Chain A
Amino acid sequence: MGLIQFTDKGLFCTKGGFYIDPWRPVDHAIITHGHSDHAKGGSKNYLCHTYSKPILQHRLGEANYQTVVWDQKLTINGVTVSLHPAGHVIGSSQVRVEYKGEVYVFSGDYKTEDDGISGAFAPVRCHTFITESTFGLPIYKWKPQQHIYNDMQQWILQNKQEGKASVLLAYSLGKAQRILGAISQVTDEIYVHGAIYNMQEVLLAHQLHHVKVIRISNELPKEKYRNAVIVAPPGADGTSWMKKFTPYRTAICSGWMQVRGNQRRRNADKGFVLSDHCDFEGLLSSIKATGCEKAFVTHGFQSVFTKYLNEIGIDASEVKTAYGNEAEEETEKEADQLNHPSS
């Protein structure tokens, strides 16, 4: 029996008696990062990275949170546990679990390119590596982020020139912070939706991010939005909330924008291929760098990616989890906040 079991509540460490990113309430939960498909409320005790705590408090409310920093070793029932940077969003961590010399690592969500905010991903040597596969197809190959930021800045300037506001659609945790950094180079005033404003307040209060933003509200005169730069969660797209920005152009910032069809389906004027996950090559190189003997593949293109790993000589199996509805769950959450803009 393996050190980590895949149960109907989540990843379970048998010897240590704790879960990692459980999707049901449990006694002891280690949380990789604050996205809602990985961090669920209702558990009695949480262990997470110091940077994740304010995010979890904001999203899940008060609970018993214990925090550690990267590379700090804890012993839980004889099992050595440590967190390591995953590079996905602020505080996101891989979880390393060791018992009697056997090492398991769960990647959580991760990306190999250092975004300067989330900590640089570092592969961790292990026997068994449990990896995500969100973009586990070779069509997903990311351009360097600076390239995309340049495009984004150009787009905003062009919109300004044509008398239009720029509305960038991005998740409030992760993508929003990266974008805010990039666009603060071309504008001093960034207007944001309440969901993003609230998240940004939390991060600013804990010195986890530095870009100041202005909350969009009905009190602000409409003229403020002329030629303005606005960041909103994807759930806001197509709602009447957007009317006040007219005339405007919209852009979606997501790895899914790699495929034109998705861009068109979402009816956005522009798609920026910017992701907080690895591309195909990133996944492969990371898995190889762990030196693992066995890989378990979770959420994403797991069956295709597993098959390919086996073909190139990496022993891999597919695992079903409840993760990977990040997009849907985040959108729902943000849509909720749309309905209660005062919250």
Chain B
Amino acid sequence: MKFFASLVDRLMATTKTNEKIGALEEYFHNASDRDKVWVIALFTGRRPKRTISSTLLRVWCAEYCQLPLWLVEECYHTVGDLSETIALLIDAYYTPDTHPADHSLTHYIEAFHQVEKATEAERKQVMLQGWKELQTVTERFIFNKLLSGSFRIGVSQQLMVKALAKVTQLEPAVIAHRISGKWDPGKITFDELLNDAGSLADDSRPYPFYLAYPLEAEPESLGSIEDWQAEWKWDGIRGQLIKRNNEFFVWSRGEELMTDKFPEYDPICKLLPDGTVLDGEIIVANGNEPLPFSLMQKRIGRKNLSNKIMQEAPVSFFAYDLLELNFEDYRSRPLAERRLALEQVVKLVNHEKLQLSSVVTCATWQELRELREESRQHYAEGFMLKRKDSVYQTGRKRGDWWKWKLDPMTIDCVMIYAQKGSGRRSNLYTDYTFAVRDGDSLVPFAKAYSGLTDKEFAQVDAFVKRNAIEKFGPVRTVKPDLVFELAFEGIAESNRHKSGVAVRFPRIKRWRHDKKPDEINTLDDLRQLLELYGTN
């Protein structure tokens, strides 16, 4: 564990990408094969099956430290991460009575795996053993983390890919492809995971998505509109349809396998040529007519897909791109060529569930700009702009693809509740609830926790600490004094919210120091937005 702990310490001790890659590289050169596979797994969001609940962890930790459980909870509220809270507490109350040990990362993962069906006493034994034989906060933090969740320590998939590419001398795109998809870190070896044979064996493997940054400048800065392909930016779930060796897979951008969630796509599978991968958007739609996104949320939340929900919220796949055809990787071909091939594939399938995301053609940027104003009527969020000769890249990149979104809707509102953030903001009040005015009363309508600078967050935090009126658990009721402009992407009717509306992707646009709480927007203003743009 010491070796992995020193990697984690090094990763946390720097904010610089190159130093992080260097640390990973060194680790991959020197660590044992099995640990390496687990590290790739852990840093890409795969974790061992949870065999001990967080409730038990808290209880055992309180017991070990001889502290009341509520005090452990208070610590957790302040730290914002249970694994770290427990590691700190054990460290503070540790009395040496066990020989320190330095087992491998895999050793501990297996230990947790083995107690899956064990008694509570046996599971407790494993936990206590680890807490006692490990020696530092970092080691215990990792040990706890193996149970409780993903490692958010500033290692993105891209970073990991870069480091592995250096170690293996393979292309980053190849690595990205190989470590995505479905694989079992307990069964696969480092070589199997990264060499060719291993990747061929897995037909389900998706390609890493090419993602766009928002366009901040005017589109005129991109040059002639002739060189660009514009498509509506659909509001659904980005996904890939894969058919290889007559097996069919639906992946979401979050790298979640969702084949079972969309049985409507099965007929497409039968019609697709073998060895095809499509990139596109999973959209609630009647054939080629999109429906409000709120229907998708309804459907995704369900455990069981009933016929009723499939009728209420039918889905189509709006295809954007062709990544593989006849088992051949098409990503390095220019978009124009991929698009032609894609059109042929869609035509060949000829099924209402598979739609081509249509290309919008305008003679000038100005014309396109005017059309963009109609986005909401099409249930779109604006346009995607893609250079016609662009290859399909890996991850979020600037230059060839841009999302040109409609300006968000905004409302001026006042902060009424605050709560401490999590992770890096665990000591600050950074999660806020905002209200609009309705006559004499304030009606909460949205929560947001992004959009301010660290300095502004610190100022609001100080305000909350001085102006808290009441306390409900971790939530503070705050004097309604600070006015903010809130931006959001969509608005829908909702009977779960007191205000009767739900907004999508709310975020703080700016702090309105210039406005007083009696100058904020009203519930009527919100209702008007709902009428104009509402997606019920």
* Residues on A facing B (Cβ under 8 Å): 137-141, 256, 258-265, 267, 269-270, 280-281, 301, 304, 307-308, 311, 325, 328
The reply to whether A138 and B78 form a contact with Cβ atoms under 8 Å apart is no
The reply to whether B75 and A137 form a contact with Cβ atoms under 8 Å apart is yes
Smallest CB separation, A85 vs chain B (Å): 26
Q: Which residue of A lies closest to B67 (CB)?
A: A138
The reply to whether A265 and B92 form a contact with Cβ atoms under 8 Å apart is no
* Residues on B facing A (Cβ under 8 Å): 12-15, 65, 67-68, 70-71, 74-75, 78-81, 84-85, 88-89, 91-93, 154, 422-428, 454, 458, 462
CA distance A137 to B154 in the complex (A): 27
Smallest CB separation, B149 vs chain A (Å): 14
The DSSP consensus for interface residues of chain A is helix
CA distance A281 to B89 in the complex (A): 12
The reply to whether B79 and A267 form a contact with Cβ atoms under 8 Å apart is no
Across the interface, which residues of B come within 8 angstroms of A311, CB to CB?
A: 68
The reply to whether B12 and A261 form a contact with Cβ atoms under 8 Å apart is no
Contacting residue for A260 out of B12, B15, B458, CB 8 A: B12
Across the interface, which residues of A come within 8 angstroms of B81, CB to CB?
A: 260-261
Across the interface, which residues of B come within 8 angstroms of A307, CB to CB?
A: 70
20 contacts between A and B (CB under 8 A): A137-B75, A137-B78, A138-B65, A138-B75, A138-B89, A138-B92, A139-B85, A256-B427, A258-B88, A259-B80, A259-B426, A261-B84, A261-B423, A261-B425, A262-B427, A263-B12, A269-B15, A301-B78, A307-B70, A311-B68
CA distance A264 to B454 in the complex (A): 12
Given A141-B91, A280-B92: A259 and B84 interface contact (C-beta under 8 Å): yes
CA distance A307 to B471 in the complex (A): 15
Smallest CB separation, A341 vs chain B (Å): 20
CA distance A293 to B256 in the complex (A): 60
Smallest CB separation, B95 vs chain A (Å): 13
Q: Which residue of A lies closest to B425 (CB)?
A: A265
CA distance A325 to B425 in the complex (A): 18
The reply to whether B15 and A267 form a contact with Cβ atoms under 8 Å apart is yes
CA distance A308 to B428 in the complex (A): 23
The reply to whether B88 and A139 form a contact with Cβ atoms under 8 Å apart is yes
Across the interface, which residues of B come within 8 angstroms of A139, CB to CB?
A: 75, 78-79, 85, 88-89, 92
The reply to whether A328 and B462 form a contact with Cβ atoms under 8 Å apart is yes
The reply to whether A141 and B92 form a contact with Cβ atoms under 8 Å apart is yes
Known: A262-B426, A265-B454. 9 other contacts (CB 8 A): A141-B92, A259-B78, A259-B88, A267-B15, A267-B454, A304-B71, A307-B70, A328-B458, A328-B462
The reply to whether B426 and A137 form a contact with Cβ atoms under 8 Å apart is no
Across the interface, which residues of A come within 8 angstroms of B67, CB to CB?
A: 138
Smallest CB separation, A286 vs chain B (Å): 17
Q: Which residue of B lies closest to A303 (CB)?
A: B471
CA distance A261 to B154 in the complex (A): 12
CA distance A259 to B15 in the complex (A): 17
Q: Which residue of A lies closest to B459 (CB)?
A: A328
Contacting residue for B427 out of A259, A270, A308, A328, CB 8 A: A259
Across the interface, which residues of B come within 8 angstroms of A140, CB to CB?
A: 92
The reply to whether A308 and B68 form a contact with Cβ atoms under 8 Å apart is yes
Q: Nearest 5 pairs between A and B by C-beta?
A: A141-B92, A139-B88, A261-B426, A265-B424, A264-B424
Across the interface, which residues of B come within 8 angstroms of A325, CB to CB?
A: 462
CA distance A225 to B15 in the complex (A): 21
Across the interface, which residues of A come within 8 angstroms of B80, CB to CB?
A: 259, 261
CA distance A262 to B457 in the complex (A): 13
Given A137-B78, A269-B14, A304-B71: A261 and B427 interface contact (C-beta under 8 Å): yes
Q: Which residue of B lies closest to A263 (CB)?
A: B12
Q: Which residue of A lies closest to B19 (CB)?
A: A269
Smallest CB separation, B64 vs chain A (Å): 12
